[in-house]
Amino acid sequence: EAEVAQSPRYKITEKSQAVAFWCDPISGHATLYWYRQILGQGPELLVQFQDESVVDDSQLPKDRFSAERLKGVDSTLKIQPAELGDSAMYLCASSSIVNAEAFFGQGTRLTVV
Amino acid sequence: GDSVTQMEGPVTLSEEAFLTINCTYTATGYPSLFWYVQYPGEGLQLLLKATKADDKGSNKGFEATYRKETTSFHLEKGSVQVSDSAVYFCALSDQAGTALIFGKGTTLSVSS
């Protein structure tokens, strides 16, 4: 069964350091999402890609966060510099053009110390 | 803007009890509605969905009916198991391709 792959699963980083997360969506899925989930809350959208183009990054803190999907396949989310408040689960999801449902990866648990 | 409101948890039940988790939504159009489940330390898995009014989504004994008149999509299961213990999220999407908007989640704990 096709899955969304994310790495790493866990990341501990010091405040002010740079950190990056990688996501490989289900093959053929044109839409890719990055969500942030704070403990005890629902996921909140950070950025949405359609192929290699950003569709929605209105909630992305652009002073420290960046995201790219250069060839319209896999994607990288970067934080620089990391802050204590960035500790959260970062979830990647993908969907096809036809269906609204999104398929999620296992997430990257980030802890900033 | 669009939003989803779920009943607050935790919900604590004994095995074989009946489960209801309430979900209501606010949307300008005709959204698709979803229930996702998240097990500890994992990502979200789609549990069921409904794309138009009066549709019933079902999976693994869980059911939810899209009620446009009450803007609700309540999750039900007739007999819960310990393995159902997880966090359940109600979500909506305005149309195919738009990002999901999630509720805050409801934690279900089932004891034997």
pLDDT at A97 over 80: no
B1-48 confidence digits (pLDDT tens): 889 999 988 999 999 999 999 999 999 888 999 999 999 888 899 999
The pLDDT value recorded for residue A53 is: 94
pLDDT at B97 over 90: no
pLDDT at B96 over 80: no
Among A56, A99, A107, the residue with its CB nearest the CB of B99 is A56
The pLDDT value recorded for residue B1 is: 85
Q: CA A65 to CA A110: how far, in whole Å?
A: 14
Q: If you measure CA to CA, which chain A residue comes closest to B35?
A: A101
Among B4, B34, B103, the residue with its CB nearest the CB of A101 is B34
Pairs of CB atoms within 8 A across A/B: 66
| More confident site: B10 or A2 | B10
Q: How far is A23 from chain B (nearest CA, A)?
A: 13
> Is the CB of B43 less than 8 angstroms away from the CB of A107?
yes
Pairing of strands A108-112, A88-95: antiparallel
A18-53 confidence digits (pLDDT tens): 999 999 999 999 999 999 999 889 999 999 999 999
B67-89 confidence digits (pLDDT tens): 999 999 999 999 999 999 999 99
Residues 6+ apart with CB under 8 A from B67: B53, B54, B73, B74
